[in-house]
Amino acid sequence: MHATGEYPDWWCGREWKRPIMSWAAGVTSELTRDGVQRFLMGRFNEIGTGTIPKWRIKDYSMKRGVSGAVDTLYIAWGGGGDISAGDSTIQFKSYDQGREKFQQESLDLLWFDEEPEYEIYSEGLTRTNATGGMVFMTFTPLQGMTQTVMRFVTEKRSGTHVTMMTIDDAEHFSKEQRAVIVASYPEYERDARTKGIPMLGSGRVFPVVEDSIRIEPIPIPNHWPRLAALDFGYDHPTAIVWIAWDRDTDTVYVYDCYRVREALVPIHASVLIGKGQWIPVAWPHDGNNDTAIGPQLAKQYRDAGVNMLDQHAQYEETAGGTAENTKTSRLSVEAGVGDMLTRMRASRFKVFSHLNYWFEEFRMYHRKDGKIVKLADDLLAATRYACMSLRFAQTEAPALKISSSREANWRAM
């Protein structure tokens, strides 16, 4: 559409009012030919059977040394069939040419098909600075949490957007066919291949089926005690979760969450108070430290009226599954993760389905070389503090009610 200037009536996205200069790139010249070139033009012996109508293709030049590979494509531009405005160009590139081949030009549009190395992505992005152009990428994240993926999935830089397409969006397959396709992949590839979730190092920290912990929101009974938990942040997000505890079944319900970057204590404190000032708030051990944004964050929240627990989150000396009753084991990340995983597997840990930020972190939480990767885990850290401090959860005290006759006697005392 951008290359031809022909936009359908339903289109509500960006439009160019002139011919555009663009690149389309793949991993190698051969893969670019068999991928983006084929999508746009059709196979070389069937030019005009791709997404660009044959009558719009005015000319093309060939790439040297690669059979059937086009170097530059010229497309007649103009809405309503008026092609007097000039030609759009699409030049085909490949990552194996190196970063230097992605320099110099000013572009309106750049399409990376398959994930590029960050240096090539950054160089390509720079090509659109002068024009205010667009870069988009289409790929399955088989390389895991790379710098390129992190920019979109965890950092969420301003001006970026991610569309996740899963096997369930492929509705031209029946439910039975989709199940066969999922089963055909090795287990370690399934989330990446069928859900677009980046492959995660040596494994996910919580290897449980997401649907086993996800539930639709339910009314929370008044007799279920509640607790909030806070993970301090500024450059990385400040994160808060709210949980309810069904003591009869020993089940934890995460019913709300909050994650905001680069905001000060009064902002976060107002959110905590607004959700229920009576709810106790668990917090990590670094809350007693002085920080760049002020002394002792826990005290700052307490001074702002937040119902902070007296001590930082930790297990009781005889609880939490720790082998030793030491300060280190009572604060152990692994103990906290183990506690949460045990609950998940025993169906005693549930998360309300609308908490997308929480599930986003849950999907990405992984190990590398056996160690938990501390990256984009703010809400999960807060959840761990909540589980460590579960014994301090409280119910809301009922309002004191006094009958009129008794009230008079009470006041006279």
For residue 337, give the nearest of 205, 238, 200, 201 by alpha carbon.
205
User: Environment class of residue 71 by beta-carbon count within 10 Å: exposed (0-12), middle (13-18) or buried (19+)?
Assistant: middle
Catalytic residue among 30, 114, 117, 176: 114
DSSP secondary structure letter of residue 35: I
Q: Strand 70-76 to strand 371-372: parallel, antiparallel, or no bridges (unpaired)?
A: unpaired
* DSSP codes, 60-117: EEEPTTSTT-EEEEEEE--GGG--TT-EEEEEEEEGGG-GGGG-S---SEEEEESPPP
Distance CA 232, CA 58 (A): 59
| Residue 114 falls in the annotated catalytic set | yes
Alpha-carbon gap, residue 325 to 105, rounded angstroms? 63
Q: Rounded distance, CA 40 to CA 60, Å?
A: 13
Euclidean distance between CA atoms 372 and 93, whole angstroms? 38
Q: Which residues contact 44 (CB under 8 A, 6 or more apart)?
A: 33, 68, 70
Catalytic residue numbers, as ranges: 114
